[in-house]
Structure 1
Amino acid sequence: MKLKNIFMALMIAVLAIALVACQGDSEKEKEGEDNSNTEQKDNENNEEENNEAAADLEGSVVIDGSGTVYPLMAKLAEEYMSNEQPNVSVEVSRAGTSAGFKKFLVEDGTDFNDASRQIKDEEQEEADKLGMEVKELKVALDGLTFVINKENDWATEMTAEDLKKIFLADGGVTKWSDINPDWPDEEINTYGPNENHGTYEFFYENILEEKDLVDDVDLQQDYPTLVKMIEEDKNGIAFFGFGYYVNNQDKLQAVSVDFGNGAVEPSLDTIAEDGDYAQFTRPVFTYLNVDNAKEKPQVLDYAIYVMNNVNHVAGETGFAPIPDAEVEESVSFLEGLK
């Protein structure tokens, strides 16, 4: 009987110990769940605060510069204001690369300057004098395009050298028949953007190697004016960025260029720094006033948006995309300004 009582007492003790252990585990699990829930709530609150901060952006972002880059930046600005920050006003103008730098490199200047060439040494020196930190952001690739009238059925293909000779003062070409005796014995009328534009500077410096243009070349400030002039001139030829050609294909036709291995039509497939149209391909940029980006959240936010989305909209506006690695490098720099 005593043994039976002792055995029963031992069983009760074991059950009591097990019960206490289970309660301990349950309390630990509950404590872990509480900690996890707290951390999750903290993360959700932080994310919500960040989203609210982003949603509360307001003010303006002021952009000027390249007429070539304008369609790309205008498209990005439109989508940003419609889909991301409706309380931020992004103002995009197109004075031209050089004229734009004059508005950018001053006290209280623009936030961005779009450019179809890189910043010049004297422009960088001006920024240094002002104590302004400037960041170059490469946004796309453009192809210098030569356009002719829709009725011109003879000059649809030319060599790169022929095109240069047409625009050079000492090129020895004034009529179409000077290039090919089978072509019309008619004077060639030349057009292009004026000195305010980076496209002019790229053409003059890189293609013509800083040699004089023909005296009677008609240089214009506005690209739509150039489009209209070629549309109305059967003997006209002009140069500008591929994007303006793409948006006016119903009015103009592009010249296919023979660089030595057969004629190449400018297109999103051929425009590349190492592609078939490489000799007439150039990068285009926007330059950011870093000080403004640090002081104005909307300026930095827009800069990050541009780089994260530029490759998605480049093709829509006549530009070839840049490598993803270059996009990521720019975004990393911009994120570091926060």
Structure 2
Amino acid sequence: MVLLLTACTQGLKTSQATIDNQSSANKLSKESLGIQKVERKLIKPPASQDSNQQGIVLPEVKPLELEGKLAISGSQVVLPISQAIAQRFLQDGYSGKIELSAIDTQVGFKAFCEQKKVDIINTVRPITAQESAACAKSGVEPIGFQIAIDAVTIVVSSQNNFLPNSLTRDELAKVFTVEKWSDVNPKWPKELIKRFVPKGAGTGGAVHLLSQAILKGNISQIIDTPNTISYDFVEQLHSEALINSYMIGVLEYNSYQQNRDKLRAIPIDTVDPFLPTYPLIRPLYIYADAKAIRKRPEVEGFVNYYLTYVNEATSRLGYFPLKSTVLNESKTKFLQVQGNKKRL
């Protein structure tokens, strides 16, 4: 799935297209695209309501003075944030095109480092040593900016009336590996456990994080267990929750927030997913090429703009905004790249 955002005289226009699937080594395959559809209500608040006024203040960006094309790809988990920033960037006058695609972190890094097709990559983890080496070989200088925090949330149907208000890690390990609910607790129904996990168990993914917390990192125990469905679109999980009170699923917190009428979140060891001690929290990032920031005004301006308004976007979309100290670290990285530009 690709979203192509452009500015037009009558306001913002959003069109959808699919990635060309011609047989070419440099093409991204359709099979690698997306985990879920991205449908978010985005509202631009008045400037006086901006929540990013504390801490480091970056230089003002004037999108109206910038032009060019920006390609943003990577994790679909981060896509709603990047989409919100891109739409606001266009609303503030950017006259170029912004292409956003939903793939995953690993494939996104390949497009960024090896194929050099992406200007900004959305990620749910830091870059690996192998990916850094691939970037260096291609002359790409990756620099990462933490932009938000996400919680991988365990959910059941809102119709579930037998599970307690919290599960222990040991109970969760059984829930994701045994056959029936009664195999976890004999007081629970003798019904099959139907599990929904996001497709793709790459490093940094939701399933990886869950396996680290409950099964010492053994991902295969989760994804290879019978009656476990790896979903492409989170709507599959939502639909099942409406008809099956014996289902359990894994999804990001912001998606749960937007579907609380269908789902019930399950705390782990009595810790709710919105608390800092919750065991399934992960930082979210964007990566850009430092060389592109120094040489291309549209990339420099967009990253600057992103870091300026990201906390506002994340809180509106159901993610957890960064503490000012953490966001300041990202802003400091950006200013250091700008400083290197001035010394060139």
Which range, TM-score by smaller chain?
Answer: 0.7 to 0.9
Secondary structure at the residue paired with 1:77? helix
Cα 1:52–1:227 shift into 2, 3 Å? closer
Following the alignment from structure 2 to structure 1, what is the Cα–Cα distance between the partners of residues 230 and 330? 35
Cα distance between partner residues in 2 of 1:52 and 1:177: 58
**Aligned match for 1:73, one of 79, 82, 104:** 82
From 111, 115, 119, give the equivalent of 2:119.
111
Q: Report deviation, 1:128.
A: 2.0
Matched, 1:233 2:244: yes
Match of 1:16 in 2: none
- Please report the TM-score for the alignment, with normalisation by the length of structure 1: 0.74
| Structure 2 letter corresponding to 1:92 | L
Task: Report how many residues are paired.
Answer: 273
Residue 54 of structure 1: how far off its partner (Å)? 5.1
- In the TM superposition, 1:220-299 aligns within 5 A as 220-258=231-269, 263-267=270-274, 270=275, 272=276, 275=277, 277=278, 279-299=279-299
Alignment of 1:202-217 (within 5 A): 202-205=209-212, 207-211=214-218, 212-213=221-222, 214-216=224-226, 217=228
How far has the Cα of 1:196 moved from its partner? 6.3
Aligned match of 1:175: 180
- Alpha carbons of structure 1 residues 51 and 230: separation in structure 2 relative to 1, 3 Å: closer
2:192 alignment partner AA: E
SS at match of 1:132: coil
| More helix as a share of residues | 1
Pick from 109, 134, 139 the counterpart of residue 147 of structure 2. Answer: 139
Q: Distance in 1 between matches of 2:230 and 2:180?
A: 19
- Give the match's secondary structure for 1:63: strand
1:326 aligns with 2:335: no
Distance 1:314 1:289 in 2: 23
Q: Give the AA of the match of 2:337.
A: L
CA contact (8 A) 1:98 1:196 kept: no
Give the counterpart letter for 1:285 in structure 2: Y
Check whether the contact 1:65–1:113 (CA below 8 A) recurs between aligned residues: yes
Equivalent residues of 1:146, 1:237 under 8 A apart: yes
Instruction: Give TM-score, length-normalised by structure 2.
Output: 0.73
Instruction: For 2:130, give the aligned amino acid.
Output: E
- Compared CA separation, residues 161 and 316, structure 1 to 2 (3 A): farther
Q: What residue ranges of structure 1 are gaps of 5+ in the alignment?
A: 1-49
Secondary structure in 1 aligned to 2:268?
Answer: strand
Gaps in structure 2 of 5+ consecutive residues:
1-58, 339-344
Q: Measured at CA, do residues 110 and 207 of structure 1 come closer, stay the same or move farther in structure 2, by a change above 3 Å?
A: farther
Residues in 2 aligned to 1:121 and 1:205: alpha-carbon distance in whole angstroms: 20
Measured after TM superposition, the shift of residue 98 of structure 1 is 1.7
| Correspondence 1:219 to 2:251 | no
Residues 116-146 of structure 1 deviation map (CA, whole Å, 9 limit, x = unaligned): 1222222222112212110111111111101
Name the amino acid aligned to 1:242: Y
Distance 1:194 1:294, change over 3 A: same
Instruction: Indicate how the Cα distance of structure 1 residues 159 and 53 shifts in structure 2: closer, same or farther if over 3 A, else same.
Output: closer
Cα distance in 1, alignment partners of residues 61 and 88 from structure 2: 20
Which structure: larger Rg? 1
Q: Distance in 1 between matches of 2:212 and 2:106?
A: 14
Question: Following the alignment from structure 1 to structure 2, what is the Cα–Cα distance between the partners of residues 74 and 331?
Answer: 20
Q: Distance in 2 between matches of 1:105 and 1:175?
A: 44
What corresponds to 2:66 in structure 1? 57
Distance 1:253 1:109, change over 3 A: same
